[in-house]
Amino acid sequence: MTSQRTRERLIQRIRDMGVRNPLVLEAMRNTPRHIFVDEALASRAYEDTALPIGHGQTISQPYTVARMTEALLAGGVLDTVLEIGTGSGYQCAILSQLARRVYSIERISALLEAARTRFRELGLRNIHLKHSDGGVGLPEYAPFDGILVTAAPEGIPPALLEQLKIGGRLVLPAKVRGGQVLLRITSTPQGYDQEQLETANFVPLVGGVL
Ligand code: SAM
């Protein structure tokens, strides 16, 4: 089920759905998604679907991971990136191949430690993890070239906007009229430019730590 052919079919699907950045497709191709889910779900790891990872959380759909990553990249590889919501660590592993350094925050310590073990197994050494409430970002390492939020906040957290470099991008799901949309906000010398990308369906960003 995790044959090269099965994995390649997923990359082709993501391409067909409109993700064309070769760096993103290559990072997706290089990342073994079955490592990031429970063994019982490994045979479904290369389906284009979100899967449960315990604690009421999910590993995001591969297309969504690819789309958000593409939206975050301005051109080439980034310097520093912050992810809010480490979860399984899959999105973080993709980012780690496209940025010099990735910081990732998770509120559930059991998920964070499982992700840490996976990064060690995969030899990913440019990831810095933090157990905390990501709504306040990571001011001690700001500003960032990119911030990617993988849980849906109520509104746009001002702390995250403040932690962007000029030219930096914040990609996040935002609640609108009972649904969610994926937003990309770019910090400019004049203020913030906002683009609506597509509909989204993320678990909520929750305050506090577990
Ligand atoms: N990026 C993840 C992956 O690739 O597996 C998907 C994560 S899941 C859709 C969202 C994650 O955000 C969950 O692990 C959840 O615990 C975490 N989360 C929710 N609210 C948070 C907060 N305030 N701070 C940090 N993490 C949070």
* Phi, psi of 78, rounded to the nearest 5 degrees: -95, 165
Residue 9: which residues within 8 A CB-CB, separation 6 or more? 46
Q: Is residue 122 part of a domain?
A: yes
pTM of the prediction?
Answer: 0.96
35-47 tens-digit pLDDT: 999 999 999 999 9
Domains in the chain: how many in total? 1
pLDDT tops 60 at residue 185: yes
pLDDT for the residue 77: 80
Instruction: Examine residue 10 and state whether it is found in any structural domain, yes or no.
Output: no
| Within-domain flag for 35 | no
* Structural domain includes residue 106: yes
CATH code, domain carrying 158: 3.40.50.150
In a domain, 178, yes or no: yes
Q: Is 60 a catalytic residue?
A: yes
Domain of residue 100, residue span: 61-200
From ligand 1's centre to the CA of 204, what distance in Å? 8
Q: How far is 20 from 24, CA to CA, in rounded Å?
A: 8
* Each residue's pLDDT tens digit, 57-86: 999 999 999 999 999 997 778 999 999 999
* 73, part of any domain: yes
Q: Is 115 in the pocket of ligand 1 (CB under 6 A)?
A: no
pLDDT, residue 74, reads 72
Work out the angle at residue 184's Cα, subtended by the Cα atoms of residues 20 and 22, and round it to the nearest 5 degrees.
Answer: 15
Residue 95 lies in a domain: yes
Q: In this structure, is residue 18 part of a structural domain? A: no
With a 6 Å cutoff on the Cβ, whether 62 touches ligand 1 is no
Q: Which residue out of 43, 60, 88, 109 is catalytically annotated?
A: 60
Are the beta carbons of 148 and 156 closer than 8 angstroms? no
For residue 159, the tally of other CB atoms under 10 A from its CB is 15
- Pairing between β-strand 144-149 and β-strand 78-84 as defined by DSSP bridges: parallel
Weakest-pLDDT range from 20-29, 72-81, 98-107: 72-81
Whether the predicted pLDDT of 2 surpasses 80: no
What spacing in Å lies between the alpha carbon of 179 and ligand 1's midpoint? 18
